[in-house]
Structure 1
C-alpha cells in the first residue's frame, strides 16, 4: 500500500487568519494519524504565512508516524530540520514569494548544492527526497545527488486528468521506471485529489508515498476529515 502523508499547511492558514489557536494544528495532526494517515507533512516558508517554525518544532512530539518537512534548503530551513530531525526532509526549490510549489529541481544544474545539503541531512540520519519534474534526465541527476527518494511533481498529471487526458500520466510512468532502475524511492504530490489519486497509484510502479494537503482539507469541509482520510487510504491500497 502507498502511504498517505497529510499536509496540514491549510489548517495553519485557517488558524492564522484569525489569530489564536482555532483550529488547533497539533490536534489535527493527532487526529489524521488516528484516522489512519501514515504521515504528516508541513512546508514552512520564510515568512511563516501558514506553518510557523515553532509549529514544526511542536509537531515533533505529536507525530508518531512519519514526519516529513518540505522546503527550500536555505540556511534557516536547514537549521530547523537539523534541530528537529524528522523522518524525512523533502527539498523543494520554491521562491520565497511562491504561493505554492511550481517546479522541480534542475538536478543537473544544482547538483553540487544538492550533494552538499543532502550529505548533511544524511549524516544526521534524516531520509532525503528531492522534488522533481517527471523528466528522466532529472531523475538520473537526482540519483547523482545521493538522495534516498524523489518526489514527483504531479501538477501536470492532475491538470491533464481533469481534462480527461489519461495520457498525461505517461511521463510519470517513464520517470518511475527510471527511478526504480536507479533504486530511488518514489514519492509524489501536488494537486492530487479524491478523483485522480487512484489512477495515479495504479499506474506508478513502486509508489511509496503521496503527500496531499490542499485538496484533502478542502474535501473535508464537505465530507469530514476522518471520512476523507479513509477515502484516500482506500484509493491507495
Structure 2
C-alpha cells in the first residue's frame, strides 16, 4: 500500500462513518415541523399514525385537524392555523400537538391514538365545545391569578402587565409524562414556566414546575410569529 493510500482510506472511512451517524441521528429526531414552514402532515416513525391539517377550500386558515391510524380516521376537529409540532408518545398511545391558532394562546392538543379520545383541548376550543374541563390542566398554580413563582422573579409581572401568553408542549419525558411550557411576555421581558405533566386517560396535571426568566422568546414562539398563518392550497 502506498503512503497516499494509507492516508486516503482512513479518511474515506471517517467520512463514511460520519455520514452513517448523521443519518441515524436524523432518523431518531423528534417529529417536529419542518424548519422551512408548517407541514400539512406528520406521521409516527412507523408511519402507522398520522396527524394532518386539511385547509378548507377558499378559506385556508380554517382547517380540519385529523388524526388517523393505519389510514383510518380516529379523531377529527375543526380548528384554524397550522401545525407547529407533533410529538408521539414513546409507546405510540398518545399524541401531543402544537397547533398555532393565533398570535398567542393555548396551542396544545393531547389525543389518544388508540380511540381518538381527547385528553387536552386548546382552552378556547374546549369552551366553544362546552367542554371547559378539557382545556384545563390540573395544578396548584393553574388559575387566573398571577403565578407566585413569576412574582418572585418579577414583582411587576402581574396579569395586568401581561402582553402575550402561550401554552405548548416540548415533547414526552415518558409514555405518561409530558413536558408543557407556559411562556409569558411582560413589559420587562419573558418568563417561562416549565411543567412536567402526568397524563391519565382523561386529564393532565402538573407534577413539577419551575419558572425562569428568558432573554428572548422561545424557538416555537418565533416560528408562531414568523411563519405564514395560511396554508398553501
Higher share of residues assigned helix? 1
Higher share of residues assigned strand? 2
TM-score by length of 2: 0.29
Higher relative CO (Cα under 8 Å, sequence separation at least 6) belongs to: 1
TM-score by length of 1: 0.29
